[in-house]
C-alpha cells in the first residue's frame, strides 16, 4: 500500500479556524469532504517550508507556522496517509480577506466549539485534528 506524507495547516484568525472543502474526486471517501488545507511534502523540504509553500499555492496567502499538533496516521482503502498538522497564523494583516481558493470547492471560518464545525463532513484523516482542537478548547 502506498504511503503519502503531508502537512496540514490549522489557520487561526482570532477564535476561528479555516475549514476547506475538497473538490470533486473519484474517490468517494474524500470527494467534497472538509479538511485543513495543506499537501504533500516534497523531497528536501522540512514541514514548515512545505506547509508555507502549499498554503501559498492553494490559498495565495503567506502563513507563519506555529505549534505542531499530534501527527495523524490514517489508512484509507487505497493508501496510507501520514499527516503532520500545525497551527498557523497569517504572516501579515489582512490575510483572511486576501485568501483565494485555487484547489478547494469552498471555505468557511468557524469556531471549533461550534456545532457547525463539529458537524462538517470531515475527511476521516482530519477527524483526529478536529478532536485535538475540541480538546484544547477552554
- CA–CA dist 138, 8 (Å, integer): 23
Which residues are paired to 2 by β-bridges? Answer: 79
Residues 6 or more apart whose Cβ sits within 8 Å of residue 94: none
Tell me what pLDDT residue 19 has. 98
Report phi then psi at 50, rounded to 5.
-60, -45
* Helix (H) or strand (E) segment spanning residue 18: strand 16-21
CA distances from 7 to 30, 49, 113, 114, 123 (A): 16, 10, 23, 25, 15
User: Do residues 19 and 34 lie in contact, with contact meaning Cβ atoms separated by under 8 Å?
Assistant: yes
- CA–CA dist 31, 21 (Å, integer): 9
- The CATH number of 2-135 is 3.90.79.10
Tell me what pLDDT residue 105 has. 94
pLDDT means per 10 residues, the chain with 138 residues, are 97 96 91 97 96 97 97 96 98 93 96 95 97 88
Tell me what pLDDT residue 130 has. 97
Tell me what pLDDT residue 137 has. 74
**What are the structural domain ranges in the chain?**
2-135
Tell me what pLDDT residue 14 has. 92
Tell me what pLDDT residue 138 has. 67
Amino acid at each position: 500500500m502506498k504511503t503519502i506524507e503531508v502537512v496540514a495547516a490549522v489557520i487561526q484568525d482570532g477564535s476561528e479556524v479555516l475549514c476547506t472543502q475538497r473538490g470533486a474526486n473519484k474517490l468517494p471517501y474524500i470527494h467534497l469532504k472538509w479538511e485543513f488545507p495543506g499537501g504533500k511534502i516534497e523531497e528536501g523540504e522540512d514541514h514548515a517550508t512545505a506547509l508555507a509553500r502549499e498554503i501559498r499555492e492553494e490559498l495565495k496567502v503567506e502563513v507563519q507556522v506555529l505549534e505542531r499538533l499530534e501527527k495523524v496516521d490514517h489508512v484509507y482503502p487505497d493508501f496510507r496517509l501520514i499527516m503532520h498538522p500545525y497551527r498557523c497564523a497569517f504572516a501579515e494583516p489582512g490575510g483572511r480577506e486576501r485568501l483565494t481558493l485555487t484547489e478547494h470547492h469552498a471555505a468557511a471560518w468557524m469556531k471549533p466549539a461550534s456545532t457547525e464545525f463539529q458537524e462538517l463532513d470531515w475527511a476521516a484523516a482530519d477527524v483526529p485534528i478536529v478532536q485535538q482542537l475540541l480538546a484544547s478548547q477552554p
